[in-house]
Chain A
């Protein structure tokens, strides 16, 4: 049986603020190699296109592209351009930022979504944002199209697509 009084000493936030604590700001900076597949993916995003890879073992057209098929356990075969339209598989609506702070009253909510990209295999989704749509009108199954940054503002990043909106 567990005792009613277990070890462990809780601290309230007031006690925590008053206690001696040690603060550390580690400099955790990284340069993550893109590799061949994502390197090309980002390069094509700068060109305003979305590129996938194919695997003839399982006949999938995969996005994000990858140099080996994780199901067949073999190298993937070819590059294949897919559309910049898709279907909403699921979505959420939020006013909370990554650090738990809240979006301002005049800022619209963020709408993350998994978007199944047309031209890729069924179910191949990517994480992105929805925009230019009333959150109350968003539905699973909705058809959406990428809204791109103007060409000169694109840098070769997932954010070269600003968001997806219904069409």
Chain B
């Protein structure tokens, strides 16, 4: 195809917490340094840096990319910042992939950071501007409205109940107990979810991932460098991204077309024809429990409307045929907006190397897909990795 093979050779991540003492730069440094150490590399070995971080309004720091540069290893290096809402964490490795696949650079440090705890009265207030300033904000919307509207439409289209959807939260939060970065790993039941406070029916508190601070980082290199650094490189074999219209109320929300398009782009590049059979492990984006189902369908891991049945039948459990969110996902590990997707990429990296510890899925998985989503129900970013 005319571009170089790109491998992930190292990873670092901070704890995901409701509020961190560290500044955003310190969080970025902690993750980036850990990634370098894990690969036995130093900043001198890094040719370029890409940084993914969500709107400046979350951390409350204008020109946040520039602010975070030195904590991300960007001092006097070619550095780029990108942002596509919650899709950022899986877009970050795509952005890094472009730098190395092009042949322009041999190595790239990919860092994602978020420090939402600075926003008052509540981080969700910073989201109000996601709505159209003239035709929507005067109605006093909250971010949860959009999710509730989408969840209701999805459930109604496929005849699902809140109970069906709650099983995802139970699965993912339980998985997160085994993740050292996890903010909300816990054993809960479907009844706990159904009895939790209704925030915007049908969305309840335990259907949602928490607001978080955190950072994550990975190292991408070309094949030559990868073989020097590790005997277990994990290849970025497919990348895809797609953005839908911001006229979100003119789209039927029950199916994420933009995720499907991004997935097809990635699968095509990776040579995957039957994702429901060829993918061994998946990390679909799960800021809300119903989103994991929504995204499993957009990722073509099952037919439309069938994702809830896969969860109910245990297919998506760690010991199932197609483990989904073995990390614990955003629901369990936490959701520092830009860093969450990269946490999922790191999970694939560890799973495919057999290094996920207590979270390790059995059976020698070789191919995984991670996906993130964001903006106004708009963006799909997808990465396929394999060993």
Contacts and interface: CB of A to CB of B under 8 A. Distances in A.
Contact of A11 (B13, B21, B152): B21
Contact of A96 (B17, B144, B179, B202): B144
B306 interface: no
Contact of A8 (B22, B142, B199, B350): B22
Given A92-B201, A92-B202, A127-B131, A6 B180 contact: yes
Given A2-B13, A9-B21, A94-B200, A32 B250 contact: no
B135 interface: yes
A16 B120 CA distance: 13
Interface in A84-118: 89-101, 110, 112-114
Contact of B249 (A8, A42, A127): A127
B150 interface: yes
Contact of B149 (A64, A92, A96): A92
Contact of B350 (A2, A6, A99): A2
B135 A38 contact: yes
A140 B256 CA distance: 19
Contacts of B145: 92, 94, 112, 127
Contacts of A59: none
Interface in A130-165: 135, 140, 157-159
Contacts of A11: 17, 19-21
Given A7-B31, A114-B249, 14 more contacts: A9-B20, A10-B15, A13-B18, A24-B60, A34-B134, A92-B144, A92-B152, A92-B201, A96-B144, A112-B141, A114-B153, A114-B253, A126-B249, A158-B139
Interface of B: 13-22, 27, 30-31, 34, 60, 117, 121-122, 124-125, 128, 131-136, 138-142, 144-145, 148-150, 152-153, 156, 179-181, 198-203, 213-214, 245, 247, 249-253, 350, 355-357
